Amino acid sequence: MIKQRRIWSWLLIGVMAIAIQFLAISGANAAVTDYLQEQKFLTNVWQIVNRSYFDPEFNNQNWYKVRRQFINRKFNSREETYAAIKEMLATLDEPFTRFLEPEKFKSMQTSTAGELTGVGLQIAVDEFDERVTVIAPIEGSPADLAGVRSRDRIVGIDNIPTKGLTLDECANRMRGAIGSEVKLTLERPLADGKGVEKLDLLIKRDRIAVTPIIAKLNQEGDHKVGYVRLNQFNGNASADMEKTLKKFKAEGADRYVLDLRGNPGGLFDAGLQIARMLISEGTVVYTVDRHGVQESFETKGDAIINEPLVVLTDGGTASASEILAGALQENHRAQLVGTKTFGKGLIQSLYELEDGAGLAVTIAKYETPLHHNIHKRGIIPDVEVSLSEPITRKQLGTNEDSQYIAALSVLDGTYKNVIVKSAN
Nearest to 305 by CA among 257, 359, 358, 373: 257
Contact 237, 270 (CB under 8 A): yes
Specify the DSSP class assigned to residue 343.
Answer: -
Phi-psi region of 16 (alpha: psi -120 to 50; beta: other; left: phi over 0): alpha
Contact 403, 380 (CB under 8 A): no
Catalytic residue among 319, 321, 340, 365: 319
CA 54 from chain center: how many Å? 17
Alpha-carbon distance of 130 to 95, in angstroms, equals: 10
Nearest to 38 by CA among 65, 7, 74: 74
Catalytic residue among 52, 141, 238, 344: 344
Q: Which helix (H) or strand (E) holds 52?
A: helix 2-52
CA-to-CA separations, 350 to 39, 72, 266, in angstroms, rounded: 21, 27, 12
Specify the DSSP class assigned to residue 375.
Answer: T
Helix (H, G, I), strand (E, B) or coil at 365: strand
Check if 319 is active-site: yes
Helix axes 2-52, 63-71, angle to 10 degrees: 160
Q: How many other C-beta atoms can be found within 10 angstroms of the C-beta atom of residue 373?
A: 16
Q: 183 CB contacts (<8 Å, ≥6 apart)?
A: 156, 157, 158, 159, 200, 201, 202, 203
Contact 253, 261 (CB under 8 A): no
Rg (CA), the chain: 27
Give the sign of the dihedral formed by CA 403, CA 343, CA 135, CA 149. Answer: negative
DSSP 254-323: -EEEEE-TT---B-HHHHHHHHHHH-SSSEEEEEE-TT--EEEEE--S--S--S-EEEEE-TT--THHHH
Q: Which helix (H) or strand (E) holds 364?
A: strand 358-367
What amino acid positions are annotated as catalytic residues? 319, 344
